[in-house]
Amino acid sequence: MTEAPTHAADTDTDGADDAADRKVVEQEQSEIKDFVKGLSADDIKSGNWFTKLAAHAMNAYTEKVDWQYFQDRYEGVPADVIVDQRIKMAARYAALEGGLSAGAYTATVAATIGSLGGASPATVPAAAATMMVDVAFISQLQLRLAYDISVLYRVPIDVHDPEDLWKLIRVAFTIKSGEAANKTVTKAIPVMVRPLVKRFYSGTTLAAGRALPVVGKHLLQRNVIKIGIPLVGVPLAVLLNRYTTLVAGRHARAVFRNEARVIELAEQLSERSRHPRLMLWVAWLVLRANAKTKIADDEALLMRHLVRLVRERHEVVDERLANVVDIDPAEVWKRVAAEPGDLGDVLDAAERVATVDGDVDSREKAILTELWERCRRG
């Protein structure tokens, strides 16, 4: 594995030099081939190849690539600009790799994938290795791209934490519960080719893919249709690689940019608050105004960061609030009444908290109206 990442972090995004891009792709592809040589047929069948790839792709990479790393290279440039260029560059790399790999794909490769069950557990057939280089390259590219985007938006991701790593994987590969990988792929394909692709998907070449764990299955199915389809192999591989990388990058941008927005709001509220303990109680009352059992993701994220920032900035830890199951408005109003002076900061915080997940609903408006009445002084 390269000490200096070659897919994006160590490559300037200004302008597209095809020769330079091709050199980067070929170098990374060569290193992926070395990685695939270390896999066994059992690794592929069991899905353990992806576990190994995640470690291969991210461990040394994340030690080097952090927010300061990008700041040193793009000081003063807004994150949105850098992220947009990263996505475009990764898509170029993906398309180039698709063209290089597709030339090696044949119907024999596809048949080999379907018959891995008969392979020696210790060895990977050459045809299967060809496919795995392509899958591993694109998987690594998209995983690192998602990580880059999280770093640029300053959303903390610890790849050694299982929960954070699974979050990164879900974002990078746009994995949704119950989603069939082939539905996403089929949308990328020209209309005239779709019937052929659908027939290919229903064939026996995916027998091994259906046995893989969730992530391995998803990635294998998404990539294996590039194999063995006569005449359209190279252009289809280029198109699919580029499309899936664009989709992955845009999805990561949407997820991490939104999370950055919520974190930024929490930071602003904490910084401006003169009544941090009361702000937490009021914020939780507003967030629970709709009385739904399930709290929205943005609401949960905001509350988590508000609590953290109030603890770090104001040294306030409210154990009583932490133990609340159903918040009682009367308890909050009692706390409001006990606070002397101007509570404008609390009102402002409540109004902004109410909008974190979209439009303010009628229950939230009622809470805000009553809060305004109770916060009036004099």
Region 270-288: what's the mean pLDDT? 96
* Pair 171, 218 in one domain: yes
b/e per residue, 67-85, with b = 16+ CB within 10 A?
eeebeeebeeeebeebbeb
Region 53-78: what's the mean pLDDT? 90
The last residue of one of the domains, among 258, 292, 311, is 258
* Pair 202, 286 in one domain: no
Question: For all residues of the chain together, what is the average pLDDT?
Answer: 79
The pLDDT assigned to 99 comes to: 81
Does a structural domain hold residue 1?
Answer: no
The last residue of one of the domains, among 226, 258, 290, is 258
The pLDDT assigned to 188 comes to: 44
Region 62-86: what's the mean pLDDT? 92
* Pair 201, 277 in one domain: no
The pLDDT assigned to 59 comes to: 87
* Pair 281, 229 in one domain: no
Does a structural domain hold residue 204?
Answer: yes
Which residues have C-beta within 8 Å of that of residue 115, sequence separation ≥ 6?
208
Q: Please say if the pLDDT value at position 200 is more than 80.
A: no
Does a structural domain hold residue 361?
Answer: yes
The pLDDT assigned to 170 comes to: 86
Does a structural domain hold residue 265?
Answer: no
pLDDT category of residue 211 using cuts at 50, 70 and 90: very low
The last residue of one of the domains, among 227, 258, 289, is 258
- Read off the CATH number of the domain in which 335 is found: 1.10.3680
The pLDDT assigned to 223 comes to: 63
* Pair 252, 277 in one domain: no
Q: In terms of C-beta distances under 8 Å and separation of at least 24 residues, what long-range contacts does 37-42 make, across chains too?
A: 37/129, 39/124, 39/129, 39/132, 40/121, 40/122, 40/123, 40/124, 41/116, 41/119, 41/120, 41/121, 41/122, 41/123, 41/124, 41/125, 41/128, 42/121, 42/122
Q: Give the domain extent around 317.
A: 273-375
Does a structural domain hold residue 183?
Answer: yes
* Pair 250, 367 in one domain: no
* Pair 253, 278 in one domain: no
Structural domain count, the chain: 2
Q: Please say if the pLDDT value at position 204 is more than 50.
A: no
- Here the tokens at position 139 are 């998987």
Question: Which of these, 300, 285, 305, lies nearest to 351 by C-alpha position?
Answer: 285
| CA pair distance 95, 91, nearest whole angstrom | 6
The pLDDT assigned to 125 comes to: 58
pLDDT category of residue 323 using cuts at 50, 70 and 90: very high
Region 116-144: what's the mean pLDDT? 73
- DSSP class of residue 85 equals H
Q: Please say if the pLDDT value at position 106 is more than 80.
A: no
The pLDDT assigned to 241 comes to: 84
pLDDT category of residue 18 using cuts at 50, 70 and 90: confident
The pLDDT assigned to 194 comes to: 46
| CA pair distance 264, 301, nearest whole angstrom | 11
The pLDDT assigned to 126 comes to: 62
Region 88-110: what's the mean pLDDT? 76
The pLDDT assigned to 124 comes to: 55
* Pair 44, 89 in one domain: yes
What are the C-alpha distances in Å from 268 to residues 150, 262, 311? 20, 10, 14
Region 205-223: what's the mean pLDDT? 51
Does a structural domain hold residue 263?
Answer: no
The pLDDT assigned to 41 comes to: 81
Does a structural domain hold residue 12?
Answer: no
Q: Please say if the pLDDT value at position 145 is more than 70.
A: yes
* Pair 223, 277 in one domain: no
| CA pair distance 228, 208, nearest whole angstrom | 16
Q: Please say if the pLDDT value at position 25 is more than 80.
A: yes
* Pair 216, 341 in one domain: no
* Pair 77, 224 in one domain: yes
Q: Please say if the pLDDT value at position 187 is more than 80.
A: no
| CA pair distance 9, 300, nearest whole angstrom | 32
* Pair 207, 305 in one domain: no
Cβ-count burial of 216 within 10 angstroms (0-12 exposed, 13-18 middle, 19+ buried)?
Answer: buried
The pLDDT assigned to 131 comes to: 78
Taking the model in full, what pTM does it have? Answer: 0.79
Region 5-23: what's the mean pLDDT? 64
Region 318-332: what's the mean pLDDT? 94
Does a structural domain hold residue 210?
Answer: yes
Q: Please say if the pLDDT value at position 222 is more than 80.
A: no
Q: Which residue has the higher pLDDT, 364 or 217?
A: 364
- DSSP class of residue 227 equals S
